[in-house]
Amino acid sequence: MSDRDARTPRVFIVRHGETDWAKSGRYTGTTDIELTKVGAAQVSSTAAMIVGAGKPLDPSSLAHIFVSPRKRARKTFELLLPQSSFGAAGWEERVTYTEHIAEWDYGDYEGLKFAEIIQLRQGKGLDREREWNIWRDGCEGGESMKQVSDRLDKLISQIREIQRPHMNGGEAGNVLLVAHGLVLRCFAKRWIRYSVDSPLPMMLAPGAVAVLSYKNGNIDEPALCLGLELRKAEPSDVI
């Protein structure tokens, strides 16, 4: 990793920890569900490994944080970055709870499993020529691909403006997103200007972290960050 790459702002995307519905394969969009004990432990484990001064996700490096307003995302944020992580007062101004990063609204399919959705749609005479694909077909009574893309694009525009002044290093310019599995995969596609239904298979486990950034320190070259330089923090690195 070049010095330029190390100074280029990053976007950390974090999926909330396990919930009972997610564990059982039920589509969970607008329903407000708490983390399981395992889910809370997943996030706490992630925080212990990567969050802190001199670690990949240093609270002092964050220019802004966007969190889904659902309980499972809020709790994940609290476990990932306790208030004590921020030190100085006024950190609340850097946090926005926004529906822009809420999970896909599954509408009539909320709480159902994949096989149940397929059965429901077939009973209505749908999908006779091809199997239902949420990326392409959206959800009855819920959101379409375009609606999800539009709200994510608005958020991406906000993030670009936040990070634009920091492309050559300087003060903290990183951004953190805490949200949900499907919408974060959509976000990653839109970040690199792919359509939400592009065939780009991705996985993001409960409590997991992924990183987005820019190539060549250029705001017009958004990229997936496939790896970070992992090195021991020097005294000069710790603020």
Q: Which of 103, 143, 166, 180 is catalytic?
A: 103
Q: Which of 16, 64, 100, 180 is catalytic?
A: 16
Q: Which residues pair with 223 in a beta bridge?
A: 213
Catalytic residue status for 103: yes
Pairing of strands 11-15, 209-214: antiparallel
Contacts of 115 (CB under 8 A, 6+ apart): none
d(CA 85, CA 75): 15
Catalytic residue status for 16: yes
**Contact (Cβ atoms closer than 8 angstroms) between residue 105 and residue 29:** yes
Continuous segment of H or E residues that includes residue 209: strand 209-214
Numbered residues of the known binding site for substrate:
28-29, 72, 103-106
**Contact (Cβ atoms closer than 8 angstroms) between residue 107 and residue 75:** no
Numbered residues of the known binding site:
28-29, 72, 103-106
Backbone phi, psi, residue 95, to 5°: -115, 130
**Contact (Cβ atoms closer than 8 angstroms) between residue 176 and residue 12:** yes
Q: What is the DSSP string of 44-68?
A: HHHHHHHBSTTSSB-GGGEEEEEE-
Query: Residue length, the chain?
Result: 239
Tokens matching residue 64: 């802004």
35 by Cβ neighbours in 10 Å (0-12 / 13-18 / 19+) ranks as buried
Catalytic residues: 16, 103
